[in-house]
Amino acid sequence: MKKSLPSLLLAKISNALLVSLAFAALSSALLPSFASAEAETNSDIERILESLSLEEKIGQMNLIAIEGEPSEQQLALIREGKVGSIIKVNGVANIHPLQKLAVEQSPSGLPILFQEDIIHGYKTIAPIPLAEAASWDLSAIRASAAVAAREAAAAGIHLTYAPMVDVTREPRWGRILETSGEDPFLSAEIAKARVLGFQQSNKHPHQNLLACAKHFAGYGAALAGRDYSIQDFSERELRELHLPPFQAAIDAGVSSVMGAYTAYDGIPATANQHLMKDILRNELGFDGLLMTDWETIPNLIKAGVAADDKQAVQMAINSGFDIDMVSSLYLNELPALVREGTVSEALIDNAVRQVLRLKQRVGLLDSPYLYLDEKREKKELLSKRNWRSTKDIARKSMVLLKNNDNILPIKKDVKSIAIIGPLAKSKVDLLGWWAAQGEEKDVISIYDGLTKFYGNKIDFSYAPGVTIDKFKASGGELIAEAVEVAKKADLVILALGEQHWMSGEGGGTASLHLPGLQEELAQRIAQVGKPVISVIVSGRPYVLTDIATHSTALLQAWMPGSTGGEALAELLSGEHNPSGKLPVTFPYHQGQVPIFYSYKKSSHSFDAGPDNNRYTATFRDVQSSPLYPFGYGLSYTNYEYSDISLSDTNMKRDGKITASVTVKNTGKQKGREVVQLYIRDKVASVTRPIKLLKSFSSVTLSPGKKKRIDFDITEDMLSFIGADLKRTVETGDFIVYVGTSSVDLKQVEFALVD
Ligand code: BGC
């Protein structure tokens, strides 16, 4: 009879100890851990390691993808103990037989770690990550990750390939939708919230997921937005822009990291020992599991840095990669490489320890079927609680960009609304890319959300206006029909945007104009003369200059997920007040890209001034400023900022001063305002940005109410990457800006002194 892992462990450990170990294993990663329990579990891992053959050890480093029915060959690999992890099998019913096979029939009985891309929800789909970033609400973001974890864990999954913590300034890059935008500080705060949300926010440890911060490092620097493309950036940029969110994820206890497809300084991440060892392990202090991205080991051959499979495998293992994602090259090549002495078995042991530790952290070593409970799965997926929480962040994610004549919220005297546009009835596009097991049938479309919200109080009509199933789709007659529909309504809601496949992995676009004839549609509808509220469904910032011109109000809804239509109706109706702020700059013209708020200071002005001075860092043909800046977003109410002050005009190193501002709701509706603090270093030994986000805080105020907001300013907020590429702080003068967006700010100054 084959040994199963529980029996293997039972032979070695007494029952009483097993109970305490089970508890310790569950709690050590996900709750504060106890040193003595950890010591026990470490020796437990050592015992398992000793019992494994070389092939079984390497099997633990092998991650396979099973899409659809498993093949005979895949089943054989599991039976032989040559599979440590599986991706793309979801749901208790599908996972259970595979786990049973591993536990009951493989020689070691070691259970499999099931991994998946749970990027913004499992069944109840949350807004895309970029949209969530627009909420600037860390507890809502954390709660959203916790919902995703609860659902995915109930469906048998142990580890998610999230959070994606890449920072990008490239809207043409399809994967911008997975990021938290352009700013390293905001991205770092969100990375931390998501790691905590996935790993430790649910009450019971087995309702949580192991998180994986990806893609280390610099994947967001995609040149011209082409995925997997060449890129080249300095070590300074690596440190200033790309590393901070990884550091935050690591500090929050992220259990794994995924390497990038791309190269840093000419060396692909999978072969980059400097990046993986010197920086990730030694400098950032990451001691968890490192995995490759999809087939990045054989990619080393395609990229021309390895001659063959053997060399590629050596490069990856020597760079510290513990898991090979789906190439099978570790499995095929490592046994011989170890036997001939080219790769040391100690390296293999270290990798296997990492895998076993993760299995232990989720309780698999003690209870391999812990995540496999069909009743729990049924109860958890799409539960009311998950829907509520997801709708909360969907509402907070949407950003009101324009609201002329306070046309929004929709007034009580509106009797008829025409909902026009290719996104009006779409469901799949609201789910967006990486929608895991999200299904169209569970999505509330924009049309359904509004008609359900208003019932028969308002007469709704509909016309698609154009089709956009291809980038160049047409719609001449459809536009004419939509114009007729618009003429008969009091108000038009124009649902524009992109289809879900147009953004996401491999979703690079050269044009940043809405696909098809949507700009023409907006123009023709505007000519009808009715108020037009444009709602944009997209995974990236599009150039909305033309659309904004033809809209009375404009709202960026992103790809808002399952609850999108409901959330939108609650905002447009005024039941809730929009509070989202852009986590990324919206360009005025696509030729401005890359455009972001934190340019480094330049010898020449970024503003051509009233005389349109040629000798400035500006364009001759279009304005240099964006259409909508980073941090921008309107509300149905107004906020007044006053009394900005500092507790001291001098701050000592290691000291602290406080910046304060009073925010008053001067409008007529309760609202939540995100108050942003930026700092400029006036003179430094290295060129510094004109301003950098350093803190933010949100305040909810009823009409007429005001509140003083305090921000602590500490020395680390003034630090930067010095000439020697190490973090440093220099004394001197600083400007503190506080306000409602990156361009609408009040300022005060202080000096850092020795
Ligand atoms: C992506 C990763 C993803 C992996 C597994 C890759 O193509 O770059 O982000 O986690 O596939 O689906």
Q: Is the pLDDT of residue 4 over 90?
A: no
**21 with 37: CB under 8 angstroms?**
yes
Of 90, 294, 325, which is best to mutate to test ligand 1, by the most ligand atoms within 8 angstroms of its C-beta?
294
Ligand 1 geometric centre to CA of 177 (Å): 14
End-to-end CA separation in angstroms for the chain: 72
Q: Which two tokens stand for residue 398?
A: 């949407």
Interval 250-295: pLDDT, tens? 999 999 999 999 999 999 999 999 999 999 999 999 999 999 999 9
Catalytic status, residue 405: no
**Which tokens sit at 694?**
């350093």
> How far does Cα 611 stand from its chain's mean position?
42
The Cα–Cα gap between 399 and 632 comes to 8
Cα–Cα nearest to 700, from 629, 623, 639: 639
State which fold the 386-592 domain adopts: Rossmann fold (3.40.50)
Residue 316 CA from chain centroid, whole number: 26
Helices (H), 553-664: 564-572
Instruction: Give the β-pairing of 256-259 and 113-116.
Output: unpaired
Q: Is the pLDDT of residue 3 over 70?
A: no
% the chain with pLDDT above 70 = 94
- Closest residue CA from atom 8 of ligand 1: 293
Closest to 337 (Cα-Cα) out of 361, 357, 321, 317: 317
Q: Which two tokens stand for residue 78?
A: 């599991």
Between the CA of 261 and the centroid of ligand 1 the distance, in Å, is 9
Backbone torsions φ then ψ of 216, nearest 5 degrees: -80, 120
Q: How confident is residue 637, by pLDDT bands cut at 50, 70 and 90?
A: very high
> Ligand 1: which residue has its CA nearest to atom 6?
294
Tokens read off for 565: 């239509």
Give me the helix-helix angle, 345-361 and 15-30, nearest 10°: 90
Q: 428: part of which helix (H) or strand (E)?
A: helix 428-431
User: What value, to the nearest 5°, has the Cα angle with vertex 293 and ends 288 and 295?
Assistant: 130
- Ligand 1, pocket-test mutation among 295, 297, 326, 505, most atoms within 8 A of CB: 505
Question: Who lines ligand 1 at CB under 6 A?
Answer: 117, 161, 214, 293-294, 505
Report CA(162)–ligand 1 centroid distance (Å).
10
In Å, what is the CA distance from 251 to each residue of 31, 35, 167, 363, 642? 15, 19, 18, 22, 36
Q: Which residue has the tokens 């001075």?
A: 613
Which residue CA neighbors atom 11 of ligand 1 most closely? Answer: 294
Average model confidence (pLDDT) across the chain: 94
**pLDDT score at 473:** 62
Atom of ligand 1 nearest to the CA of 212: 10
Q: What's the predicted TM-score (pTM) here?
A: 0.95
What pLDDT is attached to residue 583? Answer: 99
Average pLDDT for 493-501: 97
| pLDDT surpassing 50 at residue 104 | yes
CA distance linking residue 21 with residue 38, whole number of Å:
9
Alpha-helix residue ranges (DSSP H) falling in 202-295: 235-237, 243-251, 273
CA of 645 to the centre of ligand 1 (A): 47
Residue 311's pLDDT is 98
CA 25 to CA 5: how far, in whole Å? 15
Q: Whose CA is nearest to atom 12 of ligand 1?
A: 117
**562 backbone φψ class: left, alpha, beta (φ>0; ψ -120 to 50):** alpha
Pairing of strands 159-160, 650-652: unpaired
Dihedral of CA atoms 562, 568, 571, 576 in degrees, nearest 10, equals -10
Catalytic residue among 293, 322, 324, 392: 293
Give the model's pLDDT for residue 741.
98
Whether the pLDDT of residue 6 is over 50: the answer is no
Instruction: Report the interhelical angle of 345-361 vs 329-339 (nearest 10°).
Output: 140
In sequence order, what E strands does 422-466 have? 459-463
Handedness of CA 71, 73, 76, 77 (dihedral sign): negative
Burial (CB count <10 Å: 0-12, 13-18, 19+), residue 489: buried
Q: Whose CA is nearest to atom 7 of ligand 1?
A: 294
How many angstroms separate the alpha carbon of residue 309 from the centre of ligand 1? 21
Query: What is the distance in A from the centroid of ligand 1 to the CA of 260?
Result: 9
Predicted local distance difference test score (pLDDT) of residue 696: 98
* pLDDT, tens digit, 9 for 90 and up, residues 714-732: 999 999 999 999 999 999 9
Closest CA to 638 of 731, 705, 721: 705
432 Rama class: left (phi>0) / alpha (psi -120 to 50) / beta: left
- Does the pLDDT of residue 92 top 60, yes or no? yes
**Burial state string for 557-574 with b = 16 or more CB within 10 A and e = fewer than 16:** bbbbbbbbbbbbbbbbbe
pLDDT at 385 over 70: yes
Nearest Cα neighbor of 366 from 23, 744, 79 is 23
**Considering only CA atoms, which of 602, 601, 603, 606 is closest in space to residue 626?**
606
529-560 tens-digit pLDDT: 999 999 999 999 999 999 999 999 999 999 99
Residue with tokens 């049938």: 441
Find, among 68, 67, 181, 173, the residue nearest to 130 by Cα: 181
User: Cα separation of 271 and 408, whole Å?
Assistant: 54
CA atoms within 13 A on the CB side of 305: 20
Contact predicate 324/348, CB 8 Å = no
Q: Tell me the CATH number of domain 639-753, given options 3.40.50.1100, 3.30.2130.30, 2.60.40.10, 3.90.105.10.
A: 2.60.40.10
Q: CA–CA distance from 706 to each of 580, 636, 638, 664, 702 (Å)?
A: 20, 16, 12, 4, 8
Summarised one tens digit per residue, pLDDT across range 212-238 is 999 999 999 999 999 997 788 999 999
Confidence of residue 2 (pLDDT cuts 50, 70, 90): very low
Q: Where are the domains of the chain?
A: 1-116+363-375, 386-592, 639-753
d(CA 603, CA 606): 9
Ligand 1 centre to CA of 163 (Å) is 12
3-state SS string for 78-128: HHCCCCCEEECCCCHHHHHHHHHHHHHHCCCCCCCEEEECCCCCCCCCCCC
Helix%, strand%, coil% for the chain, nearest 5: 40, 20, 45
pLDDT in tens, 45-72: 999 999 999 999 999 999 999 999 999 9
* DSSP symbol at 242: I
| C-alpha–C-alpha distance, residues 28 and 13, integer Å | 19
Encode pLDDT of 117-164 as tens digits: 999 999 999 999 999 999 999 999 999 999 999 999 999 999 999 999
Distance CA 204, CA 27 (A): 9
Q: Which strand (E) or helix (H) includes residue 431?
A: helix 428-431
Residue 413 has pLDDT above 50, yes or no: yes
Residue 453's Cβ-side half-sphere holds a number of Cα atoms within 13 Å equal to 23
Region at 68 (left for phi over 0; alpha for psi -120 to 50; beta for the rest):
left
Give yes or no for residue 613 having a pLDDT over 80. yes
Q: Give me Rg for the CA atoms of the chain.
A: 27
Q: Which atom of ligand 1 is nearest to the CA of 161?
A: 10
pLDDT at 12: 33
* Ligand 1 centre distance from Cα of residue 215 (Å): 9
Phi, psi torsion values for 107, nearest 5 degrees: -60, -40
- The pLDDT confidence band at residue 472, using thresholds 50, 70 and 90, is low
Atom of ligand 1 nearest to the CA of 215: 9
Q: For residue 92, report the distance from its CA to the centre of ligand 1, in Å.
A: 22
Contacts of 36 (CB under 8 A, 6+ apart): none
Instruction: Compute, in angstroms, the gap from residue 426 CA to the centroid of ligand 1.
Output: 26
- pLDDT value at position 9? 40
Ligand 1 closest atom vs CA 178: 9
Q: Please classify residue 670 by burial: count the beta carbons closer than 10 Å to its beta carbon, then call 0-12 exposed, 13-18 middle and 19+ buried.
A: middle
Nearest to 657 by CA among 670, 667, 646: 646
Q: How far is the CA of 174 from the centre of ligand 1 (A)?
A: 13
